[in-house]
Structure 1
Amino acid sequence: MHTLHTAGRSRPAYLSRSALLALLGAGLLSACGGGGGDAPGTSTPIGATPNEGVPGKGTVTADGYVPLFPEGTKFLEQLQYREADGTLVTLAGFRTTDRHARERGEGWFEADRGPGAYFTFPTFYFQNRTLGLEIRDTIPAGGNKIQIFLRANGGSFDGTTFSLFRNIQNPEVRDYGWSMNTGFNNPTEKGLPFCHTDQPREDCMIEFTSNWRTDPHSPLKIGDKIELAPAVRLARWEMNQDPKKAGWPLQSGNRYYSQATTDPAKSGKAIIDGGGSRYYSLEQLYVVGKGMRPWYGIAPNLDSEPLPDDTLLGGDTSISYNYADEPMRVFQQPANNIGIKNLQRFVEGRRLFHTSFKDGTHSEHDRTNPVFSAHIGQLGPRFNQERCIACHVNNGRSSAAEIGSPLDMMLVATGTAMNEGRRVAHPDYGLNVQHHANGGKANDYDVSIIQYDTQLRTLPDGTQVELRKPVYAFKGARPALMSVRQAPQVIGMGLLEALPEQTIVAMADPDDRNGDGIRGVFNLVTDPDTGQPRVGRFGWKAGKASIRHQAAEALMNDMSVTTTSYPKHSCQRGAADCRSSAGAPAVSEAELQRLTHYLSLLGVPAQRSVRSGYPAGMRVAVEHDVDPVVVARGAAVFNSTGCTSCHTAQLKTGNTHPFVELRNQTIRPYTDMLLHDMGPDLADTVQEYKAMPAMWRTPPLWGVGTLKFTQGGADKARYLHDGRARTLMEAILWHGGEAEATRRKFEALPATDRAALVAFLETL
């Protein structure tokens, strides 16, 4: 590459703006860092290296397992460090959005007209549209300024706006309003706010020395709050009816460049790939001297305030409170502390999670987002759904099963017998029922609920609760072994993967040495990639060793989509040679890693246990309409009745996971990751390694209170492994076995305490 020497340093030479636009318009340059798909100008995904955080082989410990990530595991991206003089440097990823964080579908004091568009993912979000800020904070080093550098993950931003410091001095500020508005003005672009991938960082920089939240402005000090809201634009086509001027570069308001066209289909679209061209971003809170912090809104106008530590269920990954009326989308957000390059990994993996392996379309904006043509026609001979998101509604659970409808959004595990803790595959179904035949070449295998057996549970105070248990019918032969399981929510998986094995093993008490009646057991499972034993972490019976294991097995069992972990369709049939030499898998190794990265970096919503500072007269969003006193009482009852004997409230992740975002986090998942005997009423007929038919992993409770939003209403949320429970009360009353004594304590509580406990769970 040619270089220019300026002020004693060398740097890459960039094409002039007009030359760049001309080449883009002629199709002679491709975009950088795209999603690996088929939009015009996309290219290889960022960092598609052979191994980005894949667990390898290791030495078996005395407890019989090989650690997923041993000491010395390298991280993929640094997030924060201190320079020699104490200057704090933070690297934060930002994704584009359609609107602002506090902007509803209507004005603040107007009647409800629906959700906002802050948590949505705009079209083409997976390419040329992620960015990051490098924040160089000199205040803890005794300095007086903060420098912020913008980094583009792909392509160029042909216009940047940077809004900082919410204007709290103005009582009329509502949806948005900032004290400081500027741009990243580039000296190599005549001072215009243009930023390019891999340019010298000082070419897109701002710096400031004052706190603009005060009047008058005051010197920056440790603890000051700075809202960060970058906005970016891409060069786009503009309609021009004069054919002589078609293709002529236009400059619009010193903000972004456009290029004239006479084609109405191009008008307003980004030149680089045909997608959208103007975006906002996630609004983040930076605390001087500390770093990025999840936030909530306080009085008088939902001003930004760091959330209390005890609400951060996912530690620093926790998702800030949402004020755009979008609780149904909260499970889909990246970790609050996500890095710059890791955010690009996240969106590329998300694209695959939403892609149809039948026709390559995206589940969102299917007529606008580019077709992922590499994955057209990759469904296997049988399948349940054609894309991952179809079973995990809004990244939550399966849709509620209706009587008579096929259970094609759930797992129906099958077998004929057990052999050393593993199922022998059924001759018709294999290891699970795949309801639909691809191409109509075979019969469908419908499994459905034909009725519910009900019982009436009467509590000591006379309260009666109806419990129901599903009864299943098979269109084909009924297997000797079966287990029906709903798809779980997918948040927080990376944090659970980051828990040290020693932490999980130390909580086990198979012989009940402390005499509390709780006999937790950790599962030992076989890693499909290495063949070595690992501690089981995922699945209702902890039968999967890692996120990669969980994702690859779901691709195979639910869609018959091959991967490097399960390269043959015969893997679903339990074939002994299923990992032997095969052709290229449907999902490449790089793509499987991206899918794993996406699932690893999904954030966990913060607990909604504190009251937000809505102004008087404004409708309080239903998810934030909480009574902190009742919630605190419910938390105390949850603990005193013994629920935390299994639903362990607080754990600490280790320091070896490839994602720094997940390291050394204090988390509140409410699980011990262990298997417990839950009694005959919840038993199936399937053993999974050490998990006997009545044994189930303690499910994490984070997000359980949000399911009524992700699933489309409280009447559509379902609980327990098979979705039999319609309410949290029903779920508790089904507890038996090791949990029976705790359940009886719950039943004996005054009605107000039972309600408080449920109210507490609703905030998780």
Structure 2
Amino acid sequence: MHSSMPRRWTKRTSTIALAVLAASPLVAGPLDEPHLTIIPRTPDEAVRIAAATALPKSFDAPAPFEELPGGAATVRVRANADAFSQPSANIGFEGELTFKVGNGLFRKVWVSSPASTQASDGLGPLYNARSCQRCHLKDGRGHPPEGPEDSAVSMFLRVSIPGGPEDAIEDIEDYIATRPEPTYGEQIQDFALAGLPAEAQMRIAYEEIEVPLSGGEVAHLRRPTYSLADLGYGPLHPDAMFSPRVAPQMIGLGLLEAVPAADILALADPDDADGDGISGRPNIVWSVEYGQPMLGRFGLKAGAPTVKHQSAGAFAGDIGISNPLFSAGHGECTEAQADCRAAPHGDGDERVTEIDAEGLDLVAFYSQNLAVPARRDVDDPQVLHGKQVFHDIGCVSCHRPAFVTHRLKDRPAQSFQLIWPHTDMLLHDMGEGLADNRPEARATGREWRTAPLWGLGLTERVSGHTHFLHDGRARSILEAILWHGGEAEPHRDAVANMPPEDRAALIRFIESL
């Protein structure tokens, strides 16, 4: 097999450059989007899109349609914890029925095999949660334990060891080969079925760090240290690498899936050719669904190319539920966990796998259509000033405000929508402070995908907390900003040193998203 992947992408902003990029055979691999049935854009549409997504030159008023971050799929803001649990506003009656069936499967509590309820059996044998909803509480963010004696809530540890040349994927250049940890696999499961030990319990200890800010203000950060207790299957490999993960919010996933790969790749600048200090890179990952390299879009390191892939991986790793993409009935059990592999599972009936193809599609549909709530206070003077600060200090270099999705034949809710996710969906070096030192595909141990910011201000309403970043260490938006390093270090320092009223306006703008 020969790679069709380019070694370098450079930033392009013109419509003509996008057209050239899309036509280039050198990027045919990551630009291939087999999950979408695309109606190509016309030249006139490309011009209109460039104008609609251009960065603003004035901040006296909101941009047209900025109050609708999910385009026509946007829903009104709920005043309760259901703010992230609404179907796309443009989904239609039949779509809403499908959404509700998918919601039932998303909330389903799985039980162990054998069971009289064969449609719900197959849990584990090792697992982190018994349902999707147990991690994505109210379709929002999970949160870490507050102290060393607390158990993790919707949080887990990825684990792997360095791989060799034989573990590389030839079709993905710059791929960083890793292997599952020989005994514990790719994820630490803290629950197990009766008669089996859980793999381990995660513990976190926090060190408080004081950060002086302008105007005599002071912020306090907490630096986490992770450890494992009650190892159920013996010692870990000495080269084991860990990555703590908090379950992210679920809104807008189908819209992000429909953003043209060409538009994302056009923002990449791995060699910082424009000299702005930002060098975003795409993660190119192997699709088990389509058997080819694809642009990574989902997960904290953009390790999954589609919502369906991400959902299937979570079923297998988090709940131990086999599915058409990850079909092992024993879930994450390794060869070193013989009793775990021999435990009963729910495969082999008319479903074939513990959740069948139809069920997986329903959960993916539900996940694709969790709607983005409308913006609040878009024309408030302080919000508009905060928006200008956000642009002036360069936050938009990574948190790209707007895209227009593909025109699609079979996904009307996501088709040709002007959206405002505030992400470029690329990998960025976030510095040593946030590094997990565990690579994933092309992502290094210091790189993370730019998180979408839409809905961020509703986190407390939905999830009952304001914990942010990949491991929930930040207890506020300000703390999350102050943890930024690497490429974002100048922007972090600008926030720390700006007049307090500008900093307050910036936070107010982000809370309005």
Give your verdict on TM over 0.5: yes
CA contact (8 A) 1:552 1:563 kept: yes
Q: Residue 67 in 1 paired to residue 32 in 2?
A: yes
CA distance 1:379–1:571, shift in 2 (3 Å)? closer
Which residues of 2 match residues 422-441 of structure 1 at below 5 A?
A: 422-441=177-196
Match of 2:259 in 1: 499
How far did 1:723 drift? 0.5
CA distance 1:66–1:501, shift in 2 (3 Å)? closer
Task: Specify which of 711, 714, 721 is matched with residue 470 of structure 2.
Answer: 721
Task: Specify which of 393, 398, 423 is matched with residue 137 of structure 2.
Answer: 393
Which residues of 2 match residues 123-202 of structure 1 at below 5 A?
A: none
Task: Tell which structure's C-alpha radius of gyration is larger.
Answer: 1
How far did 1:572 drift? 3.0
SS class of match (1:517): coil
TM-score, with structure 1 as normaliser: 0.55
**Structure in which a larger fraction of residues adopt strand:** 1
Q: Residue 688 in 1 paired to residue 440 in 2?
A: yes
SS class of match (2:388): helix
Counterpart CA distance in 1 for 2:24 and 2:267 is 20
Which residues of 2 match residues 71-150 of structure 1 at below 5 A?
A: 72-73=37-38
Counterpart CA distance in 2 for 1:643 and 1:655 is 28
Task: Specify which of 204, 207, 210 is matched with residue 456 of structure 1.
Answer: 210
| Higher RCO structure (Cα 8 Å, ≥6 apart) | 2
SS class of match (2:207): strand
Q: Residue 416 in 1 paired to residue 170 in 2?
A: no
CA contact (8 A) 2:156 2:244 kept: yes
Counterpart CA distance in 1 for 2:257 and 2:303 is 13
Counterpart CA distance in 2 for 1:686 and 1:391 is 22
- Which stretch of the first structure deviates more once superposed, 481-490 or 337-346? 337-346
Match of 1:595 in 2: 363
Task: Specify which of 202, 214, 227 is matched with residue 473 of structure 1.
Answer: 227
Match of 1:650 in 2: 402
Counterpart CA distance in 1 for 2:143 and 2:108 is 19
CA contact (8 A) 1:381 1:560 kept: yes
**C-alpha deviations, 1:142-168, integer Å up to 9, x for none?**
xxxxxxxxxxxxxxxxxxxxxxxxxxx
For structure 1, list consecutive stretches of 5 or more residues without a partner in the other structure: 1-58, 75-306, 361-370, 612-627
SS class of match (1:466): strand
Match of 1:309 in 2: 65
**Structure in which a larger fraction of residues adopt helix:** 2
SS class of match (1:545): coil
Counterpart CA distance in 1 for 2:77 and 2:435 is 38
CA contact (8 A) 2:181 2:236 kept: no
SS class of match (1:756): helix
CA contact (8 A) 1:356 1:387 kept: yes
CA contact (8 A) 2:284 2:296 kept: yes
How far did 1:606 drift? 0.8
Which residues of 2 match residues 315-354 of structure 1 at below 5 A?
A: 315-322=71-78, 325-326=79-80, 328-354=81-107
Q: Residue 700 in 1 paired to residue 445 in 2?
A: no
CA distance 1:424–1:504, shift in 2 (3 Å)? same
Counterpart CA distance in 2 for 1:735 and 1:610 is 26
- Which stretch of the first structure deviates more once superposed, 498-507 or 461-470? 461-470
**C-alpha deviations, 1:26-63, integer Å up to 9, x for none?**
xxxxxxxxxxxxxxxxxxxxxxxxxxxxxxxxx99522
Which residues of 2 match residues 735-746 of structure 1 at below 5 A?
A: 735-746=484-495
CA contact (8 A) 2:307 2:367 kept: yes
SS class of match (1:413): strand
Give the letter aligned to residue 129 of structure 2: Q
CA distance 1:741–1:440, shift in 2 (3 Å)? same
Give the letter aligned to residue 538 of structure 1: F
Counterpart CA distance in 2 for 1:537 and 1:718 is 22
Cα RMSD for the two superposed structures: 2.4
Give the letter aligned to residue 506 of structure 2: L
CA distance 1:506–1:553, shift in 2 (3 Å)? same
Task: Specify which of 177, 192, 197 is matched with residue 442 of structure 1.
Answer: 197
CA contact (8 A) 1:398 1:410 kept: yes
Aligned positions, number: 436
Give the letter aligned to residue 705 of structure 1: G
Give the letter aligned to residue 87 of structure 2: P
Task: Specify which of 510, 516, 524 is matched with residue 270 of structure 2.
Answer: 510
State the identity as a percent: 36
How far did 1:543 drift? 0.3
CA distance 1:465–1:532, shift in 2 (3 Å)? same
Give the letter aligned to residue 307 of structure 2: I
SS class of match (1:740): helix
Which residues of 2 match residues 192-591 of structure 1 at below 5 A?
A: 309-322=65-78, 325-326=79-80, 328-358=81-111, 373-403=117-147, 404-407=149-152, 409-419=154-164, 420=168, 421-449=176-204, 451-475=205-229, 476=231, 477=235, 480-569=240-329, 572=332, 583=348, 584-591=352-359
SS class of match (1:484): strand
SS class of match (1:311): coil
How far did 1:570 drift? 5.8
Counterpart CA distance in 2 for 1:343 and 1:391 is 23
TM-score, with structure 2 as normaliser: 0.81
